[in-house]
Amino acid sequence: MQKQPTAAIRPVFSNLQPQGISDISEYGAQFDDVIPMWFGESDLMTPEPPRRALIESLESGATFYQAQNGHTALREAIAEYDSRLHAKPIAVDRVTVTASGMTALHVALQMVVDAGDNVVLVTPIWPNAPAAVQIMGAEARRVSLRSQPDGRWRLDLDALFEACDARTRAIFVNSPNNPTGWMCSREEQQAILDFARQKGIWVIADEVYHRIVYDRETAPSFLDLAEPEDPVMAVNSFSKSWAMTGWRLGWLTAPPSVYETLGLLVQYTNSNSPEFIQAAGIAAIKECEPFVEEFRNYCAAGRGIVGDILGRVNRIHIAEPEAAFYAFFKVDGEPDSMALAKRLVREAKVGVAPGMSFGEESEGWLRLCFSQEPNLLRTGLQRMADALR
């Protein structure tokens, strides 16, 4: 039983659910030799250029406070990178560096959401996004993608727009999506942007998997469509494409008119990201394009292995994801995803995330990250297939 604090904490915390992914990994820590596929991260180590840049930066004495919106050199590198990859150029006064994609999301929400407001989220979704909305004292309104008979996912735009009301401050779209791998199409993005412009609400676009796509160079992005002053904020991160989850570095691309407010929000949150971490970010952007390509191939190989092994198990309903590095699947006769994830830890020694983490609509599903060393991945999936046959 958790001890009650002697002084009050905000009521929102009584409704804040455990994240589920942390719970299953803590459960798994009791067992030896579990192959971990539960987290949203690859087993590849961060490439050499950012590691080297961090050491050089530290050795040169970069241990001081930094500008609140981020180091100019990193903001310039990001603006150049974003301009190269999007249909419209991104000016440097749209870029604010944050201590992770998660922090970018918090800062974006803090700027636009008050207690009593709501944010409409396309789900299933990474649990941290609705939790961040709830922490603001706002309502996280969920509009679920529909699973099609062919295993693809479809967004119901009418349902999305109908969920918005006078207290809606933002529509949150994570595409490519964690956990489903769904990508919001250019036409859907245009319709959402038109709606947001008309209603005067924000689009918060979580595009941390922008580069992890298999049939094209980059996923469709709201930044391809938005004019600088459109109500669009795009969350991005060094965690995924550059295998830098532990570094905690991300950025927010937003209209120039909110640049100063975002700087204040960073100032009053963690003040700035460390200079040596930002130096690593510059090296990642400038020197790691070959790694991003290799990384995508590594994920593509993992995706193929999942199809070969889990695709042959009758009880498992799985489709090839279009993007990101997750397999998201349903197992016949297994309605309780946490119970199943625990059984897989005990019996198959594999760690997967329970679907309930991604919302009630995903109960009965499991998610695994396939950006893993191929032999280890094969072993893990084979053990899982044997346990579920």
Ligand X SMILES: Cc1ncc(COP(=O)(O)O)c(C=O)c1O
Stretch that binds ligand X, among 98-106, 144-152, 257-265, 373-381 (CB under 6 A): 98-106
Task: In angstroms, give the least distance from the CB of 5 to ligand X.
Answer: 27
Binding mask 158-177 for ligand X (x = CB under 6 A): ----------------x---
What residues form DSSP beta bridges with 119?
A: 140, 170
Based on the shown chain and the rule CB under 6 A, indicate whether residue 206 belongs to the binding site for ligand X: yes
Task: In angstroms, give the least distance from the CB of 388 to ligand X.
Answer: 25
Q: Which of 66, 168, 178, 372 binds ligand X (CB under 6 A)?
A: 178
Q: Which of 46, 68, 100, 372 binds ligand X (CB under 6 A)?
A: 100
The answer to whether the beta carbons of residues 306 and 318 sit under 8 Å apart is: yes
Binding mask 208-237 for ligand X (x = CB under 6 A): x----------------------------x
DSSP H helices, 236-349, are 259-267, 275-287, 289-310, 337-343
Task: In angstroms, give the least distance from the CB of 387 to ligand X.
Answer: 26
The answer to whether the beta carbons of residues 264 and 68 sit under 8 Å apart is: yes
Stretch that binds ligand X, among 15-23, 97-105, 114-122, 145-153 (CB under 6 A): 97-105
CA–CA separation, 49 and 19 (whole Å): 33
Based on the shown chain and the rule CB under 6 A, indicate whether residue 46 belongs to the binding site for ligand X: no
Based on the shown chain and the rule CB under 6 A, indicate whether residue 68 belongs to the binding site for ligand X: no
Other Cβ atoms within 10 Å of 52 Cβ, number: 14
Based on the shown chain and the rule CB under 6 A, indicate whether residue 239 belongs to the binding site for ligand X: yes
Total residues contacting ligand X by CB under 6 A comes to 13
**Is the Cβ of residue 212 or residue 313 nearer to ligand X in the bound state?**
212
Task: In angstroms, give the least distance from the CB of 383 to ligand X.
Answer: 25
CA–CA separation, 32 and 17 (whole Å): 28
Based on the shown chain and the rule CB under 6 A, indicate whether residue 243 belongs to the binding site for ligand X: no
Angle (CA) 277-279-284 rounded to 5° is 95
E-assigned strand segments in the chain: 35-36, 95-98, 118-123, 139-144, 146-147, 153-154, 168-174, 202-206, 232-237, 250-253, 316-317, 326-331, 350-351, 353-354, 365-369
Q: Which of 36, 231, 250, 321 binds ligand X (CB under 6 A)?
A: 250
Helix (H/G/I), strand (E/B), else coil: 220: coil
Based on DSSP, count helices (H) and strands (E) in the chain, helices before strands. Answer: 12, 15
Residue whose beta carbon is closest to ligand X = 101
The answer to whether the beta carbons of residues 133 and 139 sit under 8 Å apart is: yes
CA–CA separation, 118 and 114 (whole Å): 8
Based on the shown chain and the rule CB under 6 A, indicate whether residue 40 belongs to the binding site for ligand X: yes
The answer to whether the beta carbons of residues 182 and 322 sit under 8 Å apart is: yes
Based on the shown chain and the rule CB under 6 A, indicate whether residue 245 belongs to the binding site for ligand X: yes
**Is the Cβ of residue 178 or residue 388 nearer to ligand X in the bound state?**
178
Based on the shown chain and the rule CB under 6 A, indicate whether residue 101 belongs to the binding site for ligand X: yes
Task: In angstroms, give the least distance from the CB of 8 to ligand X.
Answer: 29
Instruction: Using CB under 6 A, list all residues that contact ligand X.
Output: 40, 100-102, 126, 174, 178, 206, 208, 237, 239, 245, 250
